Structure 1
């Protein structure tokens, strides 16, 4: 970057252009500019000055502008936040005359940001996790971020090769300590060292070679037990011998694939807890609109874990010990549950062997609050005591400690980290949709936003839980570090200020192997291709709802129901941008001539809105429908539908060769997109966020820019033209969409990887327990010094209600 900046400053023409650009920006009465604003201002200047195209794209200044993500103007200096590569940031300060440039530490930029909002303060608390990651291995290539499992396999294999004796003893120690409720698994006290383990493994393999492959483990247990071996190696001679050969190969010829195969068979996960606290967690009522996706995710994940754990225990030969896996979804009990089952302390999850929803009430600080649903922005004061109460209930329900505890969203992750810390169990962090990057400048203006959002507590909780986690699961690469043009959600926590509260010098190590991209799947019992057999009664009912039924919760009567349907299903939030899709449709007479727009939300009345943001989006959609006179072209269904009905809705649209449009301004992942695609609907999705990893443009679907209404319209019309010209085109794209989801986004793969990560990171943290313990002590301090005072202030407010 230094050479690039010097080239700009020492080139008279480029320096003059930069000076004029800065002057233009300063005249706008704005001093803080983000990437899009910087690029647009530069593009406008190049157009007005009639600069050639190569100057915008290829000059030194053009390149510098492309790397610039933030620009802050002060009287005597110009601050640039540059991002020369994904996951990397550099801070530069240029003097006002553009003669000198100096790279600056993060603290300097944070202080400048504080000055910008008029809240500069000396001696502010600083958060920096850098020292705790210095002695741990890091991913060296940004392209490999999110592949922590593969990285650790390679790293550990190389360590075994470099110091065989140490790692053999470590492996022995892990196996020797391994048990289930006091029952030894894999080895017993007959084996007393790593070298003896290696020797006994070789002897056992020779014995097993003389046995029939399909013989049960029970038939050879009497011969193997005197050698030091207990159940857990496999349920048949073939599987036992296979796992022992993996150990033998791992010790003598370590390779990543061998290590991964061994870890995958290692029977160490029997009890799992999933924490999802603030939503309405139930089977018949999947959360409120803001948490519907999260609750559906947790239930699907729990069901998949239930099936996979049953399978693993059987294949490990542990049926003879009568070991039964258990999965518990831990959430809060809501006394005023509005007709749902969220007031039941315990509920069995359908279609599972041993999976339960365990509901624990919040302590009654003020019954007017704690008896009712509490928004995710107001929940922070109750989580510490909830974690204490829930821990005892969880241990009672599981009849022991969980082997894995999974947090979901910010509140679930904080509770998971508190319980994991007390019980010393493996903690997986899953967030998917962090609030900080969704609200522009939310950290800078946290004091103004505090009464409504309480971001000071939430952002602090995020920092604690994401660093406390043994590993982090994301749905997409962009969730971690974004793209060349955008910051990732986790990346937004790396360096930021909360003026007059604290500075985050380094809040997360993005190159840590704890990050793992493992996308979820869909419930394929409910969401499946339109071409598969299904109930005609169900299909007819949903078709009637979509196109003909008249009711108070349905707006619009289609003049021509035979037109190509465009389906959009979404919560009513500004980010999901249904109003933008309505405007896009309303501005295009050609779209109205060829298509009908079908909107599906949980409500359509402003009176039913649960917050001001939702009410504003509902009102905006109504206003646009009236303005563009769309009542005969739009059907708006405001009804909470069950998952089976949603699945049939997608298929009913596919029956009519329709399309699905996801018009969000930003989408971290896009679960609804998976559902539409696996149903066979050609899909158009926002190009901003993780959807770009699901859809390869013009192959599995189409990416659109929701800020470019004309461009989005053209893309939809182009598809309709191609489908009209080639009767097979719609079917071909539909088939590719279905295959894409079946191949890459399924719960079987997700759960297999999740359990593999649990086993590997448990072993990894056992090896590096000393360095990890120092990090956890540091996070304890942040919890008590920063988080608790913010949470307690929320409780004080609630006591006054």
Structure 2
């Protein structure tokens, strides 16, 4: 970067940079983000009649392409540049262009504070760098999010470098495995790694004389004489395969062998999935608007995990000992449950043998508040006591400790941190969506937003839980480090300011092996291709067709003058971020789209008086205004009701019957469950380019990533697709099949659950053989919890008591 900066200020292009900064200054603004910077620079190049290459290829052009922020001061200009993924730098250019020097993040945070007139000279600095300084780190940004593969490679290299030590550690890790006091894998007859290697040879010889299909119970006594306890397999062939993997691992370690062997080790039986704030239940209790996606995710994850654990236990031969998996979804009990099951302390999860929803009530600080559902933005004062109460309930239900605690969303991750710290259990975080990058300038203007969103509490909770977690799983790599053009959600926590509260000068190590890409699946019993006619219910199909195209109902707005036009379909809740209004405006501004398509929108609400807050009411009203403004009567159907999952699955297929398309037009989407559902149903899908959802679309489908701020460009991409469908009769079907297969092959719960369990085992093994001293880090997290989080949360509690 230094060379590029020098080329600008010492070359012929210094004048161009000076003119560009003057153009920015003339706008009257002081703070510019990447999109604005690029637009200003394009306009400058046009006005100055620069040659075509100048925008991208000149030294100034390259500098601007790397720049994500510019802050103008009287005496200097500040640049935040990102020459490569996960690597941000701060540069300051003096007003007289005499000096262009690299600055510290601390200096930039001070400038940001001054920008909003909230600078204070002495402020708390949060710096996590010392805790990661000596930790094992990924060295190539392209491998960020592949922590498991990195650990596998590292451990195998250590096995080769010092085989005697590492075989001994491997022996000790296996020797300590128990289930409720029952020994698994190895008994005390084997006392060392060297002896283990010798006994494996004897066991393999014994097994070679058995029929491959012979059940474990018929030869287990012979294995026990050699020192091998249950858990290796349920048949002679399975036991032999597992022991051969261990034998190969000892003598010729390779990452693939290590991963396959560890996947078979019976080390996970009890799992807690924490999802605190959601109106959590089954059937008609699938969350409020703000939690709907998370509730469905956790329910499907729980079913899948229980199923996979059952299969793992059976293949290990442990079902003969009466060992069963036990999965618990931990959420809050809501006394005023409006006729739902949210007041049941314990509820069996449908389609499982031993998975449950455990509901624990909030402490009775103020029954008028705690007896009711509480928004995710208001839930913070109750979480510590909830975690303490939940610990007792979990120990009672499990009759022991869990092997894994998985947090969901910011509040669930904080509870997972408290439980994990107290119970000494592996902690996994799933953010789903981090609010800080979703709400522009939410940290810079946190004081103005505090009454509504309480971001000071949430962002502190995020810092605590993401750093304390043993591992973090994300649905996309962009969630961690973004793209060359956008900053990742976790990357946004690297350094930031909360003016007059604290500065984060190093909030997370993006190169940590704890980050792992493990995307979710989709329920293929409900969401399956439209072409699978034999699996579709004709009555349901007729019912859903009427809902989308013709039924008159107080919860449906609009009719279609020409119902046979190709439908554009969208499913989402109405928020400014989800941007359904932007989609309607895009449709309204394009006469060509209106001539060829209808727009069908499915939301949970239709009228402003149904909204739970002013912002939602304004967004609903705005959609009506857009429909009026662009005279969309007869061209749009707005279904404003929550429909069951089986009807939603059929809705995608009905739209596919018409060779329609699906558009997800959010300003930002961390992933997007509805995108998976639409694609696997066979709908060609256009999705926002901002966030991780664009990764779902295959690279060869780049024409299906759209910019929600570019309405004309989006309409053109859709029309280009329709033109290809018209000129090539099979094109729609080809794209439909390709997208459906992509979801089926890559985004399925079987892969997700196996990867999650493998990560749990591998991280647990790593923490045993190379225990890092994380006590200082965890004490630091506790200090943040008690000194910043709790006092801020107590302010919310005071407000609730007053209410």
Equivalences for 1:11-22 in 2 at 5 Å?
11=11, 13-22=12-21
Matched with 2:560 is 558
Matched with 2:708 is 706
Structure 2 residue matching 1:769: 3-state secondary structure: coil
Residue 489 in 1 paired to residue 489 in 2?
yes
Q: C-alpha distance in 2, partners of 1:62/1:701?
A: 26
Matched with 1:649 is 651
Give the Å deviation of 1:764.
1.1
Structure 2 residue matching 1:53: 3-state secondary structure: coil
> For residues 88-140 of structure 1, what are the alpha-carbon distances to aligned partners after superposition, in whole Å with 9 as ceiling and x for unaligned?
11111221111112212211111111111112223311111111112222111
Matched with 1:215 is 214
Equivalences for 1:140-151 in 2 at 5 Å?
140-151=139-150
> For residues 132-165 of structure 1, what are the alpha-carbon distances to aligned partners after superposition, in whole Å with 9 as ceiling and x for unaligned?
1122221111111111111100011001111112
Matched with 1:766 is 768
Give the Å deviation of 1:383.
0.4
Q: C-alpha distance in 1, partners of 2:586/2:115?
A: 37
Q: C-alpha distance in 1, partners of 2:155/2:530?
A: 46
Give the Å deviation of 1:700.
8.7
Q: C-alpha distance in 2, partners of 1:438/1:102?
A: 31
Contact 1:274 1:298 in 2 (8 A): yes
State how many pairs are aligned: 800
Q: C-alpha distance in 1, partners of 2:25/2:397?
A: 62
> For residues 435-480 of structure 1, what are the alpha-carbon distances to aligned partners after superposition, in whole Å with 9 as ceiling and x for unaligned?
0001111111111111111111100000010111111100001000
Matched with 2:111 is 112
Contact 1:701 1:733 in 2 (8 A): no
Give the Å deviation of 1:427.
0.8
Structure 2 residue matching 1:771: 3-state secondary structure: coil
Structure 2 residue matching 1:522: 3-state secondary structure: coil
Give the Å deviation of 1:648.
0.7
Q: C-alpha distance in 1, partners of 2:722/2:263?
A: 47
715-724 or 292-301, larger mean C-alpha shift: 715-724
> Among 685, 688, 691, which residue is 2:690 paired with?
688
Equivalences for 1:434-513 in 2 at 5 Å?
434-513=434-513
Contact 1:667 1:690 in 2 (8 A): yes
Structure 2 residue matching 1:356: 3-state secondary structure: strand
Matched with 1:283 is 282
Matched with 1:323 is 323
> For residues 708-739 of structure 1, what are the alpha-carbon distances to aligned partners after superposition, in whole Å with 9 as ceiling and x for unaligned?
11121122222222222232222111111111
Contact 1:701 1:737 in 2 (8 A): no
Residue 51 in 1 paired to residue 16 in 2?
no
Residue 633 in 1 paired to residue 635 in 2?
yes
| TM-score (ref. length: structure 2) | 0.98
Q: C-alpha distance in 1, partners of 2:365/2:763?
A: 38
Matched with 1:246 is 245
335-344 or 300-309, larger mean C-alpha shift: 335-344
Contact 1:699 1:736 in 2 (8 A): no
Contact 1:700 1:740 in 2 (8 A): no
14-23 or 292-301, larger mean C-alpha shift: 14-23
Q: C-alpha distance in 1, partners of 2:263/2:638?
A: 48
Give the Å deviation of 1:24.
2.0
> Among 681, 689, 696, which residue is 1:679 paired with?
681
Q: 1:268 to 1:701 in 2, by over 3 A?
A: farther
Contact 2:555 2:641 in 1 (8 A): yes
Contact 1:92 1:104 in 2 (8 A): yes
Contact 1:682 1:701 in 2 (8 A): no
Q: C-alpha distance in 1, partners of 2:315/2:91?
A: 57
Q: C-alpha distance in 1, partners of 2:158/2:151?
A: 10
Give the Å deviation of 1:3.
0.8
Equivalences for 1:522-533 in 2 at 5 Å?
522-532=522-532, 533=534
| TM-score (ref. length: structure 1) | 0.98
359-368 or 702-711, larger mean C-alpha shift: 702-711
Matched with 2:722 is 720
Contact 2:123 2:500 in 1 (8 A): yes
Give the Å deviation of 1:701.
7.1
Contact 2:124 2:503 in 1 (8 A): yes
Matched with 1:796 is 798
Q: C-alpha distance in 2, partners of 1:36/1:383?
A: 38
Matched with 2:421 is 421
Residue 568 in 1 paired to residue 570 in 2?
yes
Matched with 2:8 is 8
Contact 1:700 1:736 in 2 (8 A): no
Matched with 1:195 is 194
Residue 404 in 1 paired to residue 404 in 2?
yes
Q: C-alpha distance in 1, partners of 2:427/2:699?
A: 36
Give the Å deviation of 1:694.
1.1
Give the Å deviation of 1:771.
2.0
> 5+ residue gaps in structure 2?
none
RMSD: 1.2
Matched with 2:586 is 584
Give the Å deviation of 1:75.
2.4
Contact 1:696 1:702 in 2 (8 A): no
Q: Where do 4+ consecutive residues of structure 1 move more than 6 Å?
A: none
